[in-house]
């Protein structure tokens, strides 16, 4: 089994490589390949079971787009063929149609799904999120300078339960196309969400693999879910303006 981590030296803005550290614990027999921005992307020329890309700065987004644009057709074939991708943070914007700057200028994405993002670097959006995927809860944290829009929710990844989806009017968060999973949720996404982790393991042929620290992960997930479901955990509706919504979501962690 082979897992490729794209550009980890510049795409680890919020410590998202913690997801890879956890995968290394779960799959110690797997081959983990780190591809630097100056290196050759592996998944378009050899079999890779999972491709991971984490959050990055806006300037790095443009460099990554330039790097991957010549491989657009090859990447499209990999997505259509069922290769598993996990993109976290603003990495999902790279495969969309375009990213719009504050002055209205646009940066073309790879156009592999219908999504465009709008940047607003004067107003950072921070919130907690509770959603649903495959009959299970998904929880995480969002912190971003951009919000995204799609024509409809047909490519949505997580159904919104509490918090903000791709934008304040969306009923879903993230993007799913075949086995491509893109989400703005940051940090230890796989550690915090054992059911989602198990789902990804099934996709890459490791469905019978136990999780690392499985008992502790499941217990922490149950406690966290109780907190997220608490009535006090309510997202305030943002005012109608061009500013990004910043829901006030008190979270009280138990010890």
Instruction: Name the residue range of residue 10's domain.
Output: 2-229
Which residues have CB under 8 Å from 112's CB, separation 6+?
A: 72, 75, 76, 79, 95, 96, 177, 180
Give a yes or no: residue 98 inside a domain.
yes
User: Is 249 inside any structural domain?
Assistant: no
C-alpha span between 235 and 143 (Å, rounded): 15
How many Cβ atoms sit within 10 Å of the Cβ of residue 135?
6
pTM over 0.75: yes
Q: Tens-of-pLDDT digits for all 255 residues of the chain?
A: 999 999 999 999 988 899 999 999 999 999 999 999 999 999 999 999 999 999 999 999 999 999 999 999 999 999 999 999 999 999 999 999 999 999 999 999 999 999 999 999 988 889 999 999 999 999 999 999 999 999 999 999 999 999 999 999 999 999 999 999 999 999 789 999 999 999 999 999 999 999 999 999 999 999 999 999 887 765 543 333 333 333 333 333 333
In-domain check, residue 6: yes
Q: β-strand 31-35 against 172-173: which pairing, if any?
A: unpaired
CB atoms within 10 A of CB 223: 12
Residue 34, helix vs strand vs coil: strand
pLDDT of residue 187: 79
For residue 191, is it within any domain? yes
Look at residue 245 and tell me if it is in a domain.
no
Whichever domain contains 23, its CATH number is 3.40.50.880
Q: What angle do CA 112, 116, 120 make, to 5 degrees?
A: 145
Give a yes or no: residue 42 inside a domain. Answer: yes
Angstrom distances, CA of residue 177 to CA of 37, 78, 79, 92, 254:
25, 11, 7, 11, 36
Give CA 66 to chain center in angstroms.
Answer: 20
Residue 91 in domain: yes
| Cβ-proximal residues to 226 (8 Å cutoff; 6+ apart), any chain | none
> How far is 30 from 9, CA to CA, in rounded Å?
21
The count of domains in the chain is: 1
User: H helices within 81-230, ranges in order?
Assistant: 189-192, 194-203, 214-229
Looking at the domain assignment, is residue 62 inside a domain? Answer: yes
């Amino acid at each position: 089994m082979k897992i490729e981590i794209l550009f980890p030296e510049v795409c680890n803005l919020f410590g998202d490589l913690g997801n890879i550290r956890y995968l290394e614990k779960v799959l110690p027999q797997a081959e983990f390949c780190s591809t630097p921005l100056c290196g050759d992307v592996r998944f378009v020329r050899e079999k890779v079971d999972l491709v991971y890309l984490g959050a990055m700065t806006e300037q790095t987004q443009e460099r990554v787009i330039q790097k991957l644009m010549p491989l657009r057709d090859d990447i499209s074939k990999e997505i259509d063929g069922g290769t598993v991708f996990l993109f976290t943070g603003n990495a999902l914007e790279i495969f969309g149609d375009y990213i719009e700057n504050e002055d209205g200028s646009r940066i073309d994405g790879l156009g592999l799904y219908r999504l465009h993002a709008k940047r607003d670097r004067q107003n950072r959006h921070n919130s907690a999120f509770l959603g649903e995927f495959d009959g299970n809860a998904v929880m995480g944290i969002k912190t971003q300078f951009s919000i995204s829009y799609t024509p409809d929710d047909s490519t949505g990844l997580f159904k919104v339960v509490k918090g903000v989806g791709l934008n304040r009017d969306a009923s879903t968060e993230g993007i799913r196309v075949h086995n491509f999973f893109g989400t703005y949720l940051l940090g230890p996404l796989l550690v915090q969400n054992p059911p989602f982790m198990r789902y990804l393991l099934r996709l890459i042929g490791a469905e019978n693999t136990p999780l690392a620290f499985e008992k502790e992960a499941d217990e922490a997930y149950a406690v966290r879910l109780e907190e997220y479901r608490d009535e006090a955990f309510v997202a305030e509706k943002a005012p109608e303006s061009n500013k990004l919504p910043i829901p006030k979501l008190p979270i009280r962690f138990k010890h």
